[in-house]
Amino acid sequence: MVFLQGVLPYVQIVLAALIIVAVALQRTGASLGGAFGADNFSSGFHTRRGLERTLFFTTIALGIAFALSALINLFIS
């Protein structure tokens, strides 16, 4: 347990950095007007394909891994 307590903060830092990179790489598709309900032709729903889909699911997996590591850190400390 002591080893896990020493390593887990570094794992969380790496996961947080990877989540930031994954979110920053994703295409937004909506401008500021889309945030306030304006109708943009480019803000419509689209099907994720290829690398975009992989990046989307990778971001979800990284978020789940980060949440699990935070829960483990909570329970062991």
Per-residue pLDDT at 42: 56
Residue 18, pLDDT score: 98
Sequence length of the chain is 77
- Quick one: pLDDT at residue 41? 57
Report d(CA 15, CA 21) in Å as an integer.
Answer: 10
pLDDT at 28 (0 to 100)? 65
Q: Specify the pLDDT at position 15.
A: 98
What is the Cα–Cα distance from 29 to 46, expressed in whole angstroms? 9
As a whole number, mean pLDDT of residues 10-16 equals 97
> For the chain, give me the number of helices (H) and strands (E)?
3, 0
Instruction: Please list, in sequence order, all residues whose beta carbon lies within 8 angstroms of the beta carbon of residue 15, skipping any fewer than 6 positions away.
Output: 62, 65, 66, 69
Q: Is 44 exposed, middle or buried (0-12, 13-18, 19+ CB in 10 A)?
A: exposed
| pTM score, whole prediction | 0.76
Q: What is the pLDDT of residues 17-65, one digit of tens each?
A: 999 999 999 876 555 555 555 555 555 567 888 899 999 999 999 999 9
